[in-house]
Structure formats: structure tokens, C-alpha cells
């Protein structure tokens, strides 16, 4: 369970990370965005292939079924995972692909970040034509309403 006192801290961290990531996506080339999206696709499918149920799997299969508490628990879990991941020797593409899912669930679960989530996906979608795996159908709810047109 997330303590009420933790929510503003999580929101603040996610806001800053989302703003920074959007800025990075805006200046990066579309090929690089495509690489990150393909890596995000691989991460998603690793989670989906795990036999045991989890919040991560529930998010990828039906985000609308997550309760607000489950959303916040998943955001906190992924914030903690991301905090550990940035201090590893994992390559930048892997870190950024995880960041896509982490910040997407944050933007979905924290109402003040919804517009930034829409903007992030409007920028990420520009790299889809350079993807080998990730397609427009892989854009998660509620951002799957964004189109390239």
C-alpha cells in the first residue's frame, strides 16, 4: 500500500522525469526512437510471457482494470526499479525503453501528468516507421487513440 505522504513525492519525481524524457525525445532522431520502441516491445513481451499474474502483466493486458491503488503501486514499483536500473551497466536503449513504460503508467495513473503523457506519445509515434517490432497497435491505453495523422 502506498502511503498518502508518498504520493506527492512520486508525482514530483515522475513529473521531472517525464519532462526530461520528452525533451530528450524531441531532440533525438526518429531511428533512435524506433530502437527504443523496439526494445520497449521486447520488455513488454517478456512480462507477458511470465506465467504468474502480476500488476505489470495486468497493465499490459488490460490497463483499464487496474484500480487507482494498483496504478500507484505499479508506479512506485517501477520508480524503484528505475532508480536501481539507472545505476547499472545496462545500455541506454534498455533504460529508455523501460522509462517509456514507467512514465506511461505514471502519466496514466497521475492525473496531473495526463497531458504530458499524450505529448510524449505524440512524439514517440514519430519513430514507429523505423521500428521492426513495435507497431501502432502496441501503443498502450489510453494513448492508443493518438494517431500519426
Which pLDDT value is given to residue 5? Answer: 72
Q: pLDDT tens digit string along 96-105?
A: 999 999 999 9
Place of cell 514519430: 126
Q: pLDDT tens digit string along 68-77?
A: 899 989 998 9
135-146 burial, b at 16+ Cβ within 10 Å, e below that, comes to eeebbbebbeeb
Please state, in angstroms and rounded to a whole number, the distance separating the CA atoms of residues 55 and 66: 8
Domain ranges of the chain: 15-145
Asked if the model's pLDDT at residue 141 lies above 90, the reply is: no
Amino acid at each position: 500500500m502506498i502511503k498518502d505522504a508518498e504520493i506527492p513525492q512520486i508525482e514530483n519525481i515522475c513529473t521531472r522525469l517525464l519532462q526530461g524524457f520528452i525533451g530528450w525525445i524531441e531532440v533525438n532522431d526518429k531511428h533512435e526512437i524506433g530502437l527504443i520502441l523496439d526494445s520497449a516491445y521486447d520488455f513488454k513481451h517478456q512480462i507477458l510471457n511470465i506465467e504468474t499474474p502480476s500488476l505489470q502483466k495486468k497493465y499490459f493486458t488490460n490497463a483499464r482494470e487496474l484500480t487507482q491503488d494498483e496504478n500507484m503501486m505499479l508506479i512506485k514499483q517501477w520508480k524503484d526499479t528505475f532508480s536501481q536500473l539507472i545505476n547499472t551497466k545496462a545500455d541506454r536503449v534498455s533504460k529508455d525503453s523501460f522509462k517509456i513504460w514507467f512514465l506511461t503508467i505514471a502519466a496514466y495513473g497521475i492525473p496531473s501528468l495526463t497531458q504530458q503523457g499524450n505529448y510524449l506519445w505524440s512524439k514517440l509515434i514519430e519513430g514507429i516507421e523505423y521500428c521492426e517490432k513495435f507497431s501502432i497497435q502496441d501503443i498502450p491505453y489510453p494513448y492508443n487513440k493518438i494517431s500519426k495523422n
